[in-house]
Structure 1
């Protein structure tokens, strides 16, 4: 029987791969056999590209042929789901998904599922949080599941590089399933600590199948280029010479957009990919890369686990990731079905600052948790998230993070009914010791990546050893093993200068706000939608705060010199000339400050002189306010400025005006002053700032 099963599985494997001579990789058949014959709970830790998805597809096909129920696959990324559904169809598996992008299909999928017409259902872990899904689909399905699969299982572990709170729900569901249902969990990035944690959560009967993590086709090299301009120049020079198409990973959304735009200007077909794009656009971009219609996707971690393009020619990191497991997981996208592929890590000066930001914001501070629990305990009628924003100086993201963490505790100290959150009688004590240990591990991982950057021994062996590969061996192909550069480590000054000029011309759009926060501006009487005759126009910021280009000079002027250099005046003039807002403003005013009364007016006055326009200081600050950067959500930011400004009417103010400030954080200062100017009789208001203050977002 075993021999027949294996022969049948081999035929299906060849069908799936469209290769009549394909054979199982070491460990693949053994994993399938373990699931089919022993009904085991199995954790498979194998390198990227080994073929973990084939294990559960083939197991599903064989189980379904034995009239066993469908497979439930929990997978973290929609990109991964799309790849898998196409692969499943090759061996006659009917796969469907229930996710946020196909709500109109849910009813049809549910009907087919309960009629046993679907072989494999793919869902995200976040779907398990949906009560309707749990009650109407998961509960009836749980009695007839044939195989339970958790892809990217390191997400279960707090110690994993990509822990997702919703994965905790998986453990509870597994505890409720009959013990004779086989369970497969898979990952390419689990060291011993993560494996032990997964075993502790899923049970000591979890068997572990582990293979070598060394990638034979991947050639690794590290290049330190401190400035963004140097890295952008290097990419512009080297990308056209690299084989095929690939991925350039950035740590922030902002850098993904900017690097893609720069490469396009240099005549290279590259496009940005990140979590701010809608799912339809992401599918289009993935298809373009799969079909080699573009040279590169410049992506955040939104294009990560499970994206499968076997002939990917290169993966380049524009900045250093925060951990070895992050790096291995991403660089492992390259070279699965080609003889040579490049994995190039470009290190920069900003790497440490960005990864520190992610480490520091990974867990909600204890004080945030306590503040939310306090106000919920004080409210009998419950509070919605907007009401929590009014009660607390916390951002929407900070509030959501705390609510998710608390709702996943067992027993949970909070509960949700409709749109409101309520406190329960549970006494909650955060595990601050565990959070501290996790934070220290993140810092150690960050230090290991810094060590990797300087490593003088085999780069692949270093990565494998850090992932607790039992037999890390020298690859003989990386820059260290070969004793030479795979790719040049320098680039021409001419292109670096072009990149510097590009960065100095990277004007940032200041999008106008369109709605007043509820109850925030009662003194001004502003509420509801911002009427078009009170709304600011789209503005411009010369730079991003502290960034390459102008940003560092703005920072020095504000905090070191208390004076903005004349070159910033000239830079702003050139920005306005590129911009050409219409109708072009005929006068200039500025945002007042009680803390630094001369800084912005002095700059605005010099700008007005250069543009040949009158400068009128008609906006007055009527009371001290908190720093906007210390206000964490829209309600608090707007409420902080309620009744803080007044306008002195000027008889020639009816035409368009430039409203100048040094920094733009929340945009509420510009929004409120623009509305006051318009109400006092001014024409269109065009905001101008020297810097936009945002770190950018990771995915």
Structure 2
């Protein structure tokens, strides 16, 4: 008993270091720590957002370290979570480090520290568990000495979880290799009974469960249904005046987030988009800007979710409904952690069902497509870009499918790409059908949430099988009878409509170089650009894809009779540049046919716009296609990709014409190189953007 009292005192001191003087562990938090440190148990903790799950595992990790145990391994899904946790750990004297896609150039040094025992806590993403180098050189030693394993956001481990990730299924194999005395903690705020049972089974027999009530007393839930959902951007711009503090506006797709952010900027609001396309360094900058109340809102996809911590976040708006009440609860949990009042507003859209159906359809391909992929793989490593030419799957779907096949043992990720293992593999149609059925039920439940006349918080808590959910919250629109005014400022709506229906789409300017490369800091000389449309646009996408599939296409004369030049002219006419460009240069490609296509188009654009045609920015001798998707590696490969002796001399802004903008790094690196050597401002112009 004396030892327990001493440990409890130490634990309270550690919490005070993390959370501030006077902070003390609650009984349920200490119960979890006690089970881990003294009883070496496996525990699943299901508690509401803001309960203090991270404090539990940091304190347990430190106490185990003080008892002579090895470092703890924390598996976390998102970079925001890792950054916040490393900062929190340092306050308590815990030596924490993280391996993630944003600090790849630092991996070697961190891995050496782990081997030397200089790290108390190592945070990794689940994807790292199958990184060949990490798996072969770091994980074996870590598994032998690890003091504790933590699986954060553990609902991701379950097929039935709202955010299932194939890489999380590898954790089961890691746990099976642990010594019996190594404690394991799995944590989540969003798990119903089915997910709890699944996670328990994967953690192993005897896993304890600590489960609490999920009410959030600060949240005031509302649903606002506009007769015309196209008026939602103007309504959001109007209602922001009434919302205290700063917040998050969630969108279902990347394009919706970028478009809405642009619309709100047009209305005078200081906002920014935050999506899966946002580079890691820029994400960190935007998170800090929101935390510091420099922004009214981040307009985000689910990329901004688990782990982002701003205690005084004043509101969360959903521009379109998530496909699951469980997912919705997880996202609204970002608000009101440290305040008495936070507004949560759902704005359903007429397109919601179509988006849900699309994401459900691409979750895992049909058996014939998977067989085609397996047949394309051999015993020599093939990169993802190379495999794209062999199977009719987008990059994201292809990578997701390969991860599932990897976990199933049919393929293996190695240095340089993927290989077939030659192991028998069967298409688990029963499991996929069951998951599809569960998703359909969740979608129906989300529609019911929108229509329900009962307490909205009570509804969400019951969807999460919260046994303490018995009383209405007394705060939501249904409980109070208070609803939001649906009036929209007409002049504001007119301005926003003009922006959203303008020709083309914006290309966001990269503002910061990724870490760990030879160039650092802010990026100069390259402004925001434009593209004719997105390749995934329902209306414009098919025609753009057809155009890009024919590199032999050339503009016709006179230009007004051409299919594409009038559209480019419309984009240029609508462009709100600070200074009109005076020249056009084509961005050289490794493929000479693509270069010729861009050169002909650039020359035609220059003639129509009465600008100088400044030729082609040629690729450097012996240049090869840069296929890396990681920002640091991609930029490193692009720095010497072009021959800047061909950069256009002269003065005045330059249009840099390319075919497709995917990550944005090619036009950024090339544009910066032109600016650095000539002093000219560069404005990227693309035929299409991907995404």
User: TM-score w.r.t. structure 1 length?
Assistant: 0.74
Q: 1:374 to 1:574 in 2, by over 3 A?
A: closer
Q: Quick check: 1:142 aligned with 2:143?
A: yes
Query: Which residue of 2 is the match for residue 541 of structure 1?
Result: 532
Q: Structure 1 pair 570/490, CA: closer, same or farther in 2 (3 Å)?
A: farther
Report the CA distance between 1:87 and its aligned residue.
0.9
Offset at residue 687 of structure 1 (A)? 9.8
Partner residue of 1:289? 290
Q: What's the counterpart of residue 315 of structure 1?
A: 316
1:397 corresponds to: 396
CA distance in 2, matches of 1:334, 1:147: 30
- What's the counterpart of residue 477 of structure 2? 479
1: CA distance, partners of 2:565 / 2:490: 26
- Aligned pair partner of 1:578 in 569, 574, 577: 574
Asked whether the 8 Å contact 1:368–1:402 carries over to 2, the reply is no
- Which residue number corresponds to residue 501 of structure 1? 498
Matched, 1:457 2:491: no
**Paired residue for 2:19, among 5, 8, 17?**
17
Q: How does 1:373-412 map onto structure 2 within 5 Å?
A: 373-376=374-377, 383-409=382-408, 412=409
Instruction: Provide the residue aligned with 1:356 in structure 2.
Output: 357
CA shift, 1:5, in A, is: 1.8
Q: Is the 8 A contact 2:502 2:574 kept in 1?
A: no
Residue 430 of structure 2 corresponds to residue 429 of structure 1: no
SS, match of residue 317 in structure 1: strand
**Structure 2 CA distance for aligned equivalents of residues 476 and 169 of structure 1:** 43
2:444 to 440, 443, 447: 447
Rounded Cα–Cα distance in structure 2 between residues aligned with 1:87 and 1:425? 45
1:290-317 C-alpha deviation (Å, 9 max, x unpaired)? 1111111111111100111111111111
- 1:165-204 equivalences under 5 Å are 165-204=166-205
Per the alignment, residue 468 of structure 1 pairs with: 465
**Do the aligned residues in 1 keep the contact of 2:266 with 2:496 (CA within 8 Å)?**
no
Over alpha carbons, which structure has the higher Rg?
1
Task: Give distance in 1, aligned partners of 2:329 and 2:386.
Answer: 42
- What corresponds to 2:621 in structure 1? none
Asked if residue 236 in structure 1 is aligned to residue 250 in structure 2, the reply is: no
Q: Sort the Cα spacing of 1:384 and 1:99 in 2 relative to 1 into closer, same or farther, 3 A.
A: closer
Cα drift, residue 540 of structure 1: 5.0
Deviations 1:42-96 (A, max 9, x none): 0000001111001011112222222222111010001100001111111111111
Counterpart position of 1:225: 226
Q: CA deviation at 1:390?
A: 3.7
Q: Alignment partner of 2:145: what SS?
A: coil
8 Å CA contact 2:248–2:300 kept in 1: the answer is yes
Deviation of 1:401 (Å): 2.8
| Distance in 2, Cα, partners of 1:545 & 1:419 | 29
Q: Is the 8 A contact 1:192 1:468 kept in 2?
A: yes
Partner of 1:45: 46
Q: Take 1:209 and 1:153, find their aligned partners in 2: how far apart are those partners? A: 13
Q: How far, CA to CA, are the matches of 2:418 and 2:109 in structure 1? A: 32
Q: What runs of 5+ residues in structure 1 fail to find an aligned partner?
A: 512-537, 556-567, 586-610, 614-663, 667-685
Cα offset, 1:26, TM superposition:
4.8
C-alpha distance 17-416 of structure 1, shift in aligned 2 (>3 A): closer
Residue aligning to 1:103: 104
CA distance in 2, matches of 1:447, 1:92: 48
Q: Answer yes or no: is the 8 Å Cα contact 2:219–2:341 preserved in 1.
A: yes
Instruction: Give the Cα separation in 2 of the matches to 1:104 and 1:576.
Output: 40
1:224-247 CA-to-partner distances (Å, cap 9, x unmatched) read: 135454111111111122111111
CA contact (8 A) 2:132 2:414 kept: no
Q: Secondary structure at the match of 1:271?
A: strand
Contact between 1:244 and 1:313, CA under 8 Å: does it hold in 2? yes
TM-fit CA distance, 1:373? 2.1
Distance 2:530 2:288 in 1: 35
Contact 2:503–2:532 (8 Å) recurs in 1 = no
Deviates more, 1:222-231 or 1:247-256: 222-231
C-alpha displacement of 1:268: 1.1
Name the SS of the counterpart of 2:269 in structure 1.
Answer: coil
Q: Which runs of 5+ in 2 are unaligned?
A: 509-528, 545-563, 585-607, 611-659, 663-683
Give the Cα separation in 2 of the matches to 1:294 and 1:489: 24
Query: Cα deviation per residue 1:310-349 (whole Å; 9 max; x = unaligned)?
Result: 1111111111011011100000000011000111111111
Change (3 A) 1:178 1:460: same
Instruction: Give the count of matched residue pairs.
Output: 554
Distance 1:93 1:177 in 2: 23
In structure 2, relative to structure 1, the CA distance for the partners of 1:492 and 1:6 (3 Å cut) is same
8 A Cα contact 1:364 1:401, kept in partner: no
* Contact map agreement 2:131 2:413 (CA 8 A) in 1: no
Per-residue CA deviation, residues 258-301 of structure 1 (Å, 9 max, x unaligned), is 11122122111111111212111111000111111111111111
Q: Closer, same or farther in 2 for the Cα pair 1:539/1:205, shift >3 Å?
A: closer
**Match in the other structure for 1:70:** 71
Name the TM-score, length of structure 2 as normaliser.
0.74
Contact 2:373 2:390 in 1 (8 A): no
Is the Cα contact below 8 Å between 2:270 and 2:295 reproduced in 1? Answer: yes
The aligned counterpart of 2:411 is 414
**1:506 and 1:543 in contact (8 A); partners too:** no
Q: What SS does structure 2 have at the residue aligned with 1:15?
A: helix
State the 1:27 CA deviation: 1.3
> 1:105 offset after TM fit, Å?
2.4
Residue in 2 aligned with 1:631? none
Shift of residue 204 of structure 1? 2.2
Corresponding position of 1:305: 306
Structure 2 CA distance for aligned equivalents of residues 496 and 329 of structure 1 = 31
Q: What is the CA deviation profile of residues 399-435 of structure 1, one whole-angstrom value per residue up to 9, with x for unaligned ones?
A: 33332221111xx223355436443342211111110
Cα distance, 1:543–1:276 mapped onto 2, change above 3 Å: closer
Whole-angstrom distance in 2 between the partners of 1:144 and 1:243: 49
In 2: Cα distance, 1:326 partner to 1:294 partner: 25
Q: Hey, what's the Cα distance between the residues in 1 that align with 2:187 and 2:685? A: 51
Is the 1:542–1:575 Cα contact (8 Å) retained in structure 2? no
Q: CA RMSD in A?
A: 3.2
* Distance (Å, rounded) in 2 between the aligned partners of 1:469 and 1:238: 32
Moved more, 139-148 or 208-217: 139-148
Report the CA distance between 1:693 and its aligned residue: 9.8
- Post-superposition offset of 1:383: 4.7
Asked whether the equivalents of residues 229 and 499 of structure 1 are also in contact (C-alpha less than 8 Å), the reply is no
Q: Compute the displacement of 1:249 (Å).
A: 0.5
Q: Distance in 2 between matches of 1:370 and 1:5?
A: 56
Aligned to 2:363, the other structure's residue is in SS state coil
**Deviation (angstroms), 1:199:** 1.4
